[in-house]
Chains A and B, each alone.
Chain A
Amino acid sequence: MNNFGVIEVAGGKTTRAPGWAYVPDVGPSPAQALQPTNRKGRAARNQAGPSAADVSARQDAKIRKELEALDRDTNKDVNIPIPPKVGGSRAQTNKHTPNVRKILQSQKTFANYLDDYQALLALAETNPAAAAALNPANAAPPKAAPPSTARNSPAPPPPEPKSTAASKRSAAAAKRAAAKEAKEAEEAAAAKAKAEAKPKAPEPLAESKDEDPPQSYPPDGTILPAYQKPPPPAHPSDNDPLLVSRIPPFPSDGELRALMTAPPLSYLEARGTWGGEETGYPTRVFCEVCGYWGRVRCMKCGARVCALDCLEMHKAECVTRYGL
C-alpha cells in the first residue's frame, strides 16, 4: 500500500483529539501559508521534504478554487432568458428613459460593479473631476432642475462643509470624507469629554452647520431618555460593596449624535477583519474525506485526512489530479 510517506499516529484510543494538536508532520500548515506572517520561521522548518513549497501552493490553490465555487450561485453557467408574457401585461415597452435603458441592458455582475467602484475611488483620489463625471449618480434625471435648489430644499444638505467644492466631487469620495469627518468629530467629542468635567453640547457635525442651528440640539440625555419608571424595591444588600455593579458611563449625546449621523461604510470596509491565528484560535483542519479532524497529511498534495482508511480513498483522487 502506498502511504504517501505518512505514518498513522492516531490510534483507536485517541478520543480526546483536539484536532489541530495531533498533526504529526513538521511541514507548513496550509492555513498558515495563506498568512503573510512567519515566513522566515516557516522557511527554517521546511527541511522535511523538497516539495514542501509545492505542497503548500497546491493546497492554497485548492482552497481558493473551492471558496470561489462555494460563492457561486449556480453550478453551471445558466442563461435563462426572460420568458414571454402570456397576456395581461402592461403595454409599455420601448418607453424607457435613457437611464432605464442602460440599467436594463447591463449584464454586469456584482463583482464588475465592485471593481468599478474601487476604480472610481482610486480615481477620485487623483482626479476628482474625472471621477465625478463617471459617477452614475450624477446622471441627469429626466427633467433636470437648477442644482441650487438642493440648498434651499427642506432635506438635509450634502455631508460636506464646503458644499460648492463638494458638489464637484464624486458621491463616493464625499462619503469617504464625511466618514473621516465623523470620526474626527467623534474623537474630538471624546477628547472634550475627557478635558471638561461636564461636556457641553459638542461641535455640531460640519454637515448640519448651515441649516441646523445648535439650539435645536437636544440637551444631554434626550437621545436615549433615562429610565423613568419607579425603581425596583430596595434590597438589604443594595449597598454591599461586593455586590455593586460597575456600569460604564453612558456616552454623551455628542458621542451618540456622531455615531447616529455617521455615513455608511463602503462594501469592503464593512467586512469583518480576520485577525489571523495570533489573535484568534488555531485554524482547525479536517479530514477531506470524512470530515473528522485532519490529523495526518498527504505528503504529495498537503491534503488532510483522519487516518489510513481515508488516506487510501484520498490517494485515488490525488493520483488523478497530480499524477504518481
Chain B
Amino acid sequence: MAGGKKSQLSGPAPSSRTLVIDNGANTIKAGFASEDNEPRIIPNCIARDRHRKTFVGSELDKCKDFGEIAFRRPVEKGYIVNWEAQKEIWDREFFDEKAPQKCDPADARLVLAEHSNSLPALQTHCDQMVFEEFGFASYCRGPGPALNAYNDVQAIFQTPRPPETVVEYPAEVMLVVDSGYSHTTVTPVLQGRPLHQAVRRLDVGGKLMTNYLTRLLSVRHFDMRNDTYVVNEMKEAACYISLDFKGDLEKTWKGTRGERRLDYLSGAGIAKDYVLPDSHTRFHGVVREYEPGVSAKARKGAVSTEDVLTLRNERFVVPELLFHPSDIGMHQPGLGDLVMQSLSELPIGLWPGLLANIVVVGGNALFENFIQRLQTEVLQRVPDACIVRVARAQDPIACTWVGAANFARHAHVETLAVTKQEYEEHGSAWVARKFALGLGVDCDPTG
C-alpha cells in the first residue's frame, strides 16, 4: 500500500521538506522533520492587551504586560474550529515572506497531529484548508497521542538495555495519557496504531483548572477573572498534585471559630505566598515561602507596594480535579477510573503490556507528583499481581511533536500520506476515510 509513492509517478516530485505541526489549543509545536530535533513553541492565539495592542502567535513574546490580556483562540476543545484565526497565525509563522519557519507548501509535506474523536466536519475543513488554501503537496493527519509511539519509550522508563540497542519505532505497546489545555485522554497504542474503541476522554484540562483557580481566588482574595493569564502562571508555578489529599486539607484548614490551628498559622509547609506581577517592574509572578502576615499587610498597603496572596488548599485542590472531577459537580470519572474504562474495552491479555508502559504527556504532566499519584490510582484498581509503570516524557509538551517528527521520517508516513493530486481526484471524503482507517495491520510493522 504505497499510495503516496505510486501516484507521485504522475504527480509532482516528492516533497523535499516535511513541516510537522502539533496544533494545540494553547501552543503550536512546529518544526521541520529533516532539520529540527525539537519544535518551536508558538502561542496559538491572537491576544489583545489592555492598551489595545494586538499580538498574533509568537508576537506574544514581545508582550510584557499581561494584566487583563484577552485571547482569541482558533482551537476549541482541542480541535481547530476557527480557521480565520488559525490561518492568520499559520500564515505569519510559516507562509509569509518573513515567517520565522518559512515553508513553501507546494514543495512540502505537512504532518499534522490532531486529537482523536474530532467531528467529521472539522476534519474536512482542515483537509480542505491544507490542500485548497495552503496547497501542500502532500499531507498526513494523524492522532497525536498515538504518534508518541514513535518516541524512544523505553528510554522514558529508563529500562535497562545494552547500549548498542537500536531503537525501533513504533513502540510495541503503550498507554498514552495526554493531559493538555482542553482535556485529558487515555489512548492504548499497539505498534503505533491507536486502539480507537478504547480511547477515553476526561473533559478536565489546563483551561478548566486555571478557571477553577481563578474562581477560588476571586471568592477568597480578589477578583482575577480578567487575569487568567496571570492565574495560569500562578497555577503552573504553585499547584501540585497531593499524595495525601485528606491530610493536606486538614493542614490547611483554619480551624473553628476563634481558634486558629497551629498548622494554619505556620503554613505547615503547604502555604506559599505568591507575589503578583505589578506590570511596572515585575511582569511575572513569583512564588515565595509563606511568611505569616505578609499578605494581610500587603493587602492593607501599609508596608509594601507588593500584591501578595497566600495560597493554601488552592495549591492542590485545583489539579485534584484530574482525579476527582466530581469535586466541582462534574459527572465524569477521574483519571484512575478513566484508565480502567479504557482497559475494560480490551482483552485482558493486553493489560500487562499497557499497564507497564503508561506514558504521560501534555503540559499538566508537569504538575509535581502527577506520575506518583496516577500510579497509586491505577494500582488501587488493578489485580495485585499487575506491574504498573508510569513515566513522564522527558519533555511532555514537545514529545508528541518529537513522535510526529520521527513518524514523518519513518516509512509509515508513506502509507498514510495523501498527495494534493489524490485529493483533487478523489475528494475530501476519500481523504477523511483514509486517515480514519489509519495504518491498518497489513503494512510491515518494522516499515
A and B, one complex? yes
Interface positions, chain B 308-365, Cβ under 8 Å from A, are 312-314, 317, 324, 326-333, 337-338, 341, 346-353
Pick the contact of B331 from A34, A83, A249 — CB < 8 Å?
A34
The distance from the CB of A278 to the nearest CB of chain B, in whole angstroms, is 13
The distance from the CB of A21 to the nearest CB of chain B, in whole angstroms, is 12
**Residues of A in contact, count (CB < 8 Å):** 125
In the complex, number of A-B residue pairs with CB atoms less than 8 Å apart = 335
Interface positions, chain B 216-250, Cβ under 8 Å from A, are 216, 219-220, 225-226, 228, 246, 249-250
Neighbouring A residues of B215 by C-beta, 8 Å: 66, 69-70
B341 touches A273 (CB 8 A): yes
In the complex, what distance in Å separates the CA atom of A39 from the CA atom of B312? 38
Q: Closest residue to A8 on the B side, CB-wise? A: B256
Pick the contact of A156 from B118, B132, B332, B440 — CB < 8 Å?
B440
In the complex, what distance in Å separates the CA atom of A289 from the CA atom of B429? 52
A45 interfacial contact with B, CB 8 Å: no
Q: Closest residue to B353 on the A side, CB-wise? A: A224
The distance from the CB of A102 to the nearest CB of chain B, in whole angstroms, is 9
Neighbouring A residues of B46 by C-beta, 8 Å: 80, 82-83
A145 interfacial contact with B, CB 8 Å: yes
Interface positions, chain A 254-271, Cβ under 8 Å from B, are 255-257, 259-267, 269-271
A191 interfacial contact with B, CB 8 Å: no
B6 interfacial contact with A, CB 8 Å: yes
A256 touches B441 (CB 8 A): yes
Per-residue contact bits, chain A 265-303, to B (CB 8 Å; 1 contact, 0 not): 111011111110000100110101111110000000000
Interface positions, chain B 123-137, Cβ under 8 Å from A, are 123-125, 128-129, 131-133
A219 interfacial contact with B, CB 8 Å: no
The segment out of B93-101, B295-303, B368-376, B388-396 that lies at the interface is B93-101
B11 interfacial contact with A, CB 8 Å: no
B48 interfacial contact with A, CB 8 Å: yes
The distance from the CB of A33 to the nearest CB of chain B, in whole angstroms, is 11
A116 touches B208 (CB 8 A): no
Interface positions, chain B 110-166, Cβ under 8 Å from A, are 116-125, 128-129, 131-133, 143
Given contacts A73-B71, A153-B422, A272-B341, are A31 and B326 in contact (CB under 8 A)? yes
Q: Closest residue to A104 on the B side, CB-wise? A: B84
Given contacts A31-B326, A223-B191, A250-B349, are A82 and B428 in contact (CB under 8 A)? no
Pick the contact of B256 from A31, A159, A308 — CB < 8 Å?
A308
A67 touches B330 (CB 8 A): yes
Pick the contact of A248 from B259, B327, B351 — CB < 8 Å?
B351
In the complex, what distance in Å separates the CA atom of A11 from the CA atom of B258? 12
Neighbouring B residues of A149 by C-beta, 8 Å: 425-426
B81 touches A145 (CB 8 A): no
Given contacts A70-B212, A284-B326, are A265 and B97 in contact (CB under 8 A)? no
In the complex, what distance in Å separates the CA atom of A308 from the CA atom of B120? 53
Pick the contact of A80 from B70, B128, B246 — CB < 8 Å?
B70
A76 interfacial contact with B, CB 8 Å: yes
Neighbouring B residues of A64 by C-beta, 8 Å: 329
B333 touches A70 (CB 8 A): no
Q: Closest residue to B226 on the A side, CB-wise? A: A75
Neighbouring B residues of A174 by C-beta, 8 Å: 433
B437 interfacial contact with A, CB 8 Å: yes
B283 interfacial contact with A, CB 8 Å: no
B329 touches A31 (CB 8 A): yes
Q: Closest residue to A146 on the B side, CB-wise? A: B425
B15 interfacial contact with A, CB 8 Å: no
A135 interfacial contact with B, CB 8 Å: yes
The segment out of B192-200, B271-279, B398-406 that lies at the interface is B192-200
B326 touches A308 (CB 8 A): no
In the complex, what distance in Å separates the CA atom of A97 from the CA atom of B420? 15
In the complex, what distance in Å separates the CA atom of A145 from the CA atom of B430? 12
Neighbouring B residues of A12 by C-beta, 8 Å: 255-256, 259
In the complex, what distance in Å separates the CA atom of A73 from the CA atom of B70? 10
Neighbouring A residues of B7 by C-beta, 8 Å: 154
Neighbouring A residues of B429 by C-beta, 8 Å: 135, 137-138, 171
Per-residue contact bits, chain B 257-295, to A (CB 8 Å; 1 contact, 0 not): 101000000000000000000000000000000000000
**Residues of B in contact, count (CB < 8 Å):** 129
Pick the contact of A271 from B54, B81, B131, B332 — CB < 8 Å?
B332
Per-residue contact bits, chain B 50-89, to A (CB 8 Å; 1 contact, 0 not): 0000101000000000000011110011010111110110
The distance from the CB of B11 to the nearest CB of chain A, in whole angstroms, is 13
Neighbouring A residues of B350 by C-beta, 8 Å: 250-251
Pick the contact of A263 from B71, B330, B425, B436 — CB < 8 Å?
B436
Neighbouring A residues of B441 by C-beta, 8 Å: 218, 223, 256-257, 260-261
Pick the contact of A309 from B1, B72, B256, B418 — CB < 8 Å?
B256
Neighbouring A residues of B190 by C-beta, 8 Å: 223-224, 256, 259-260
Give the residue among A8, A99, A159, A216 with the most B Cβ atoms within 10 A: A99
In the complex, what distance in Å separates the CA atom of A153 from the CA atom of B437? 15
In the complex, what distance in Å separates the CA atom of A41 from the CA atom of B77? 38
Neighbouring B residues of A74 by C-beta, 8 Å: 70-71, 228
Neighbouring B residues of A272 by C-beta, 8 Å: 200-202, 332-333, 337-338, 341
B121 touches A137 (CB 8 A): yes
Per-residue contact bits, chain A 130-141, to B (CB 8 Å; 1 contact, 0 not): 000001111111
A110 touches B201 (CB 8 A): no
Pick the contact of A154 from B1, B95, B326 — CB < 8 Å?
B1
B91 interfacial contact with A, CB 8 Å: yes
Neighbouring A residues of B95 by C-beta, 8 Å: 90
The distance from the CB of A270 to the nearest CB of chain B, in whole angstroms, is 4
Neighbouring A residues of B3 by C-beta, 8 Å: 153-155
B437 touches A159 (CB 8 A): yes
A260 touches B195 (CB 8 A): yes
The distance from the CB of A86 to the nearest CB of chain B, in whole angstroms, is 10
A72 touches B442 (CB 8 A): no
B36 interfacial contact with A, CB 8 Å: no
A89 touches B97 (CB 8 A): yes
Give the residue among B6, B123, B190, B436 with the most A Cβ atoms within 10 A: B436
Neighbouring B residues of A286 by C-beta, 8 Å: 317, 327
The distance from the CB of B53 to the nearest CB of chain A, in whole angstroms, is 9
Given contacts A66-B328, A260-B193, A261-B437, are A275 and B119 in contact (CB under 8 A)? no
What would 14 A/B residue contacts be, using CB atoms closer than 8 Å?
A11-B256, A30-B329, A71-B203, A76-B70, A82-B85, A90-B91, A90-B95, A96-B133, A103-B128, A106-B125, A116-B119, A156-B1, A190-B347, A264-B194
Give the A-binding residues of B (Cβ under 8 A). Answer: 1-3, 6-7, 46-48, 54, 56, 70-73, 76-77, 79, 81-85, 87-88, 91-92, 95-98, 116-125, 128-129, 131-133, 143, 172-173, 185, 190-191, 193-203, 207-208, 211-212, 214-216, 219-220, 225-226, 228, 246, 249-250, 252-257, 259, 312-314, 317, 324, 326-333, 337-338, 341, 346-353, 385, 418, 422-430, 432-434, 436-438, 440-442, 445
10 closest Cβ pairs, A-B complex? A63-B329, A270-B117, A251-B347, A274-B331, A110-B76, A145-B425, A137-B429, A78-B70, A80-B72, A88-B97
